[in-house]
Structure 1
Amino acid sequence: MAMWVFGYGSLIWKTGFPFDESLPGFIKGYRRVFHQGSTDHRGTPEFPGRTVTLESADGEVCWGVAYKITKEEDKRDALTHLEVREKQYDQKEYLDFFTESNSEPAVTGVMVYIASPDKKSNNNYLGPASLEDIAKQIVKAEGPSGPNRDYLFNLEEALAQLGFKDKHVTDLANQVRHILSETEESSVDDGTANNV
């Protein structure tokens, strides 16, 4: 029996485990949201970054990539890797995965890691905030895996390369770019003022 894993965040561009096949597609009834705090990858316990999780949403779909793993040794390696990497994600769901809108599932029982809003089992859940506030947090946050903004921009680019549109990701990336350009402009202004 093959094991299938669905990636909807950094797993799209940085898998980190061996797999036999990758299949672009989507799961139904969920949307991608930047509600999960990252204290070990894209932020610190003192200043968490924000990474994606899924929330239930009727009629919505979340695009990503499903990875097929068939060898027993590869399955063990993948699970070991994922249990460390996704340790702040407290739920595992097994969902239908689709490649076309009106067809039967391409895969049933694809494994998906979800960070739930339950503060008892997921103490890093940050929850919803305005686009501006999420963007400000992403601009400032940095962790062992690098700046939080790189995570967002990598996700935006990976989705674009697959031909998928996610308005939330695009709007957030544009807001972060706006803040960064304003910061650059004000530092240039400061520099000019100092030279006068």
Structure 2
Amino acid sequence: MTVDMNEFWVFGYGSLMWNPGFEFEERQAAHLFGFRRSLCVRSWVHRGTEEKPGLVLGLDRGGSCRGVAFRIAAQKREAVVDYLRERELVTHVYKERSLPATLGDGRRVTTLAYICDRAHHQFAGALSIEEAAGTVSTAMGKSGHNMDYVRNTLAHLREMGIRDHWLEDVGRTAESLYARASA
């Protein structure tokens, strides 16, 4: 089943799932193919600094990603795109793309999504659980502690019935490191 091509949808796979920051008409579970959720972007603004970068999620090539899609009212499209560009393209580590997704109710839609730029110097690539957890447990940026970002992501993934074993392992290991450092 397809939908009206004039509809405007935004795909969220990380913080957009719980904190979109814009008004929407509809929110649906969504599945995007060809890209996977990955903690592969060094955050210099929201969850870290240039001196002590944090890690945030990116859509990296390969696999698939379950997340959410938001349908935006036509009259809000331009404002939402402007907002997302300001939020997601701060350092241009993401590329804006139109990608097909399947909604939870079976509809196929085109979504606006932000994929990581593997050539960008903030692309962290594949990290071990220990490397990622060490970064997450200590980094902080203008949007708060990196631990809160991972906690919120994992909580929302659980609410949606989505398992991300690698990210869960990073979260557990980072929690342990954070607790030891705070004691």
Superposed CA RMSD in Å reads 1.7
Deviation per residue, 1:90-149 (Å, 9 max, x gap): 31222221246xx9x623321110121113xxx322222211011101111000100011
Same amino acid, percent of matched pairs: 30
Corresponding position: 1:8 with 2:9? no
Aligned residue among 45, 61, 66 for 1:56: 61
Q: Which residue of structure 1 lines up, in the alignment, with residue 77 of structure 2?
A: 75
Structure 2 alignment gaps of length 5 or more:
1-5
TM norm structure 2: 0.89
Matched residue count? 176
Q: Whole-Å Cα distance in 2 between the matches of residues 41 and 116 of structure 1?
A: 18
* Equivalent of residue 91 in structure 1, options 69, 91, 95: 95
SS at match of 2:19: coil
Measured against aligned partners, the alpha-carbon deviations of 1:59-105 in whole angstroms (never above 9, x if no partner) come to: x3211100001232x111111110010013431222221246xx9x6
Report the structure number with the largest CA radius of gyration: 1
Contact 2:55 2:132 in 1 (8 A): yes
Runs of 4+ that moved beyond 4 A: none
The SS at the match of 1:175 is helix
SS in 2 for 1:98: strand
Of 125, 128, 138, 1:127 maps to 125
- In 2, Cα distance between equivalents of 1:99 and 1:71: 19
- Confirm or deny: 8 A CA contact 1:43 1:49 kept in the other structure: yes
CA distance in 2, matches of 1:106, 1:82: 24
- Whole-Å separation in 1 of the counterparts to 2:152 and 2:94: 24
Q: Which residue of 2 aligns with 1:111?
A: 112
